[in-house]
Structure 1
Amino acid sequence: MQLLEPPSDQIIGVKAFLDILNETLNFAFPAVTIEGEVSSYKVNQGKWVFFDLKDEDATLPCFIPIYQLKVPIEDGMKIRVTGVPKVTKWGKFSLTVKSVSLAGEGALKRAFELLKAKLQQEGLFEASRKRALPRFPERLGLVTSGQSAAYADFIKILGQRWGGMEIQLADVQVQGQPAPAQIVRAIEYFNQQASVPDVLVVIRGGGSLEDLQAFNTEEVARAIAGSRVPTLVGVGHEVDVSLADFAADVRAATPTDAARIVVPDKAEVIQDIGHRQRRFEQTIRGRLDRYQNHIIRQINVLERFVRLPQARLQNLELRLLNAQRQTLAMQQQRLNSLSRLLGSYDPTATLKRGYAIVRKGEQVVTGPQQVNVGDSLVVQLAAGNINAKVDK
């Protein structure tokens, strides 16, 4: 690269001088990484971040667009910045920062707490957002380093416990500066498939807080929380907790634990099926016995209902017959009484007792004033009639 050099016998303008100075700086320091402590941190217009990077002996003004700042920082945190030195048109020297990473465990922990509080306030870690994993997944999307011990352990335990599954690996870096972007792209890849996996598993073995930093970044946490595929995250050792763990639907303590969570143990499943089968058979037998006893009871009740009407019918028939007999006897007795009563009014019976009926023509004579001398009379007796004439 050829630097701009002002002619020794010419006077140059301020802008030309600054252009030459910046080209010289860019040639000498195309990219420089500096470690120091943050001070005077501020954000202008929600777009531009300004802060000073200092140590015990000096202070360096820094500038970065907010969209390039991937980690939360605040005054007092120790960070590493990579950028290009530049003199602005106002003559102020500063470092135009391209990337920021945290330096030291204290800064990492503080950034973790700041980002955790931010995402928690947004509701990203709410229990109501968590989804259950399918009991028997058939396809797994796996995001990890294919050369890692975590991957080997996960595959081994998975085969021992269940086996026969389709596993699609997204081989990514799990630490270092490129790791977050690779992990996010892998998650997006699985979510954009026409037929998505049943479960998306993100794992990484143990390491220092700095080693696990990729899983404490905002972009990775948001990608996991936004996945339309249920997520299982197992990062680090049992004592390690990452923002990716909080964002996941299910957290596993380790990659090995993730393998135990994502699939059941086939031996336990077989045992459980046998136990359920025995319980089912016992239940069926119990129900059949209860149904049989119920049917027998119903038959007995039905038989009683059948026998009872028969007995009632027979009793009713007997009572009806007795009633008929009593009625007939009473009617016969009444008839006899009426017959005797009618007999007492029968004139023939009266005639047989020596009485007679005297008629004058068609008129029954009941007294002497009804006849005159010379009238012809008919005297009716029990044995016949006598013709007579009134002579006095």
Structure 2
Amino acid sequence: MTPRFSVSDFLAVVNQSLEVAFSAVEIEGEVASFKVNQNKWVFFDLKDENGSVGCFMSVYGLRTPIADGMKLIVRALPKVTAWGKFSVTVQSYYPSGEGSLHKGFELLRAKLDKEGLFTPERKRVLPAIPAHIGVISSTQAAGYTDFITILNERWGGMRVDVAHVQVQGEAAADQIIAAIRYFNESEHPPEVLAILRGGGSADDLGAFNDELLVRAIASSRIPTLVGVGHEIDTTLADLAADVRAATPSNAAQIIMPDKREYIAAAHHQVSRIIAQFDSNIDVTRQETRRLLARSLEAAERRIDMSLNQTEQQCRMLAAYDPRAVLARGYAIVRGVACVGSEITIQQSKQTITAEVTHVAANE
């Protein structure tokens, strides 16, 4: 007996059959008729030479730009809509082929650059010697091992907190975003955040061109450093970070200075200080000697002047010495000049006592 369904029941049975047959499928094709409705829903077709299938997704799932002509691989659930139209609901997608990867990269780069996410003015300077570093990477990757090894060789003793995440594949971008959020919301956040991954193909590095991840890096309140891929690789995460490192090893060199260079610089600085100190001592010594010589010269001049003055005073005193007058034949008379009084007469070699017998005024 042929089963009979209502339209709604038939669509439900078909969709249930599709779910059983295809829990999810991957479809590769070229994008056509791409459009976004009400800034909520995304519609486009995937086509090849012989067919076309409609695709549907929410705008939140639009993690990298899609444009007509790009080749995509979509992971999707097949479904018949309530209007009887067959389509697939896209769960995730990624560009297929270098041309499509590059086109998606350039479209998103232009969009974010226009918003100012890559401008040099918003870049922050990393701390000179951070005591607390946050790392987002796969701890199983060689790039992470190189980073930790070089970090400890250059300085050591700092606190390093690590968030282990996938660094490629569908889950990578969301895991890195969650790690960035975790560090930013920590009670004691690190001083710098390093996001690391070693080299790989353009497909391997695709997670670092995810729009939501790039925005998370740009909005981090912790200064960020991204060291992804090889030196020639550039991702949008690199452009959004405060500082870009060529490799994970280079990231360690940027974050932490070499203690040997600091020690050498300190020795050089001490040597310069000692040399300057010695020079200052020599200058002070020479200036002290000059001032001492000037003081001695001034003292000698004042002594000579004092000696000359003393000699002049001595000569003056000698000239007025009564003994010199007596030596020239003069005498000193002492007593009252009246008749009958006694007087003494002092000469150079003798003293005479006499009685006054006559006093007369000089004419």
TM-score (normalised: structure 2) = 0.77
TM-aligned CA deviation for residue 265 of structure 1: 1.1
Aligned residue for 2:14, secondary structure, equals helix
The amino acid of 1:215's aligned partner reads: F
Among candidates 150, 159, 172, match of residue 143 of structure 2: 150
Is the alpha carbon distance of 1:301 and 1:77 closer, same or farther for their aligned partners in structure 2, counting shifts above 3 Å? farther
Equivalent residue number for residue 272 of structure 1? 265
TM-aligned CA deviation for residue 299 of structure 1: 8.6
TM-aligned CA deviation for residue 295 of structure 1: 7.2
TM-aligned CA deviation for residue 216 of structure 1: 1.1
The amino acid of 1:145's aligned partner reads: S
| Bigger Cα Rg | 1
Aligned residue for 2:233, secondary structure, equals coil
Residue 198 in structure 1 maps to residue 191 in structure 2: yes
Equivalent residue number for residue 233 of structure 2? 240
CA deviations over 1:200-237 (Å, ceiling 9, x no partner): 11110100000011111112211111111111111011
What is the 5 A alignment of 1:1-392? 8=2, 10=4, 12-289=5-282
- The aligned length equals 303
- Distance in 2, matches of 1:142 and 1:303, equals 72
- Distance in 1, matches of 2:189 and 2:148, equals 20
- Distance in 1, matches of 2:103 and 2:265, equals 47
TM-aligned CA deviation for residue 285 of structure 1: 3.7
TM-aligned CA deviation for residue 81 of structure 1: 1.1
Is the alpha carbon distance of 1:40 and 1:165 closer, same or farther for their aligned partners in structure 2, counting shifts above 3 Å? same
- Distance in 2, matches of 1:182 and 1:305, equals 87
Q: Is the 8 A contact 2:92 2:170 kept in 1?
A: no
Aligned residue for 1:96, secondary structure, equals strand
TM-aligned CA deviation for residue 242 of structure 1: 0.8
Is the alpha carbon distance of 1:289 and 1:227 closer, same or farther for their aligned partners in structure 2, counting shifts above 3 Å? farther
TM-aligned CA deviation for residue 284 of structure 1: 3.5
The amino acid of 2:96's aligned partner reads: A
The amino acid of 1:91's aligned partner reads: G
Equivalent residue number for residue 315 of structure 2? none
- Distance in 2, matches of 1:196 and 1:254, equals 24
Equivalent residue number for residue 339 of structure 1? none
Aligned CA-pair RMSD: 2.5
TM-aligned CA deviation for residue 292 of structure 1: 6.2
The amino acid of 2:192's aligned partner reads: V
The amino acid of 2:135's aligned partner reads: L
TM-aligned CA deviation for residue 298 of structure 1: 8.1
- Distance in 2, matches of 1:238 and 1:144, equals 18
The amino acid of 2:82's aligned partner reads: K
Is the alpha carbon distance of 1:228 and 1:290 closer, same or farther for their aligned partners in structure 2, counting shifts above 3 Å? farther
- Distance in 2, matches of 1:216 and 1:54, equals 25
Select between 166-175 and 283-292 the one with higher mean Cα deviation.
283-292
The amino acid of 2:258's aligned partner reads: D
Runs of 5+ unmatched residues, structure 1:
1-6, 311-392
CA deviations over 1:333-379 (Å, ceiling 9, x no partner): xxxxxxxxxxxxxxxxxxxxxxxxxxxxxxxxxxxxxxxxxxxxxxx
Equivalent residue number for residue 353 of structure 2? none
TM-aligned CA deviation for residue 51 of structure 1: 0.5
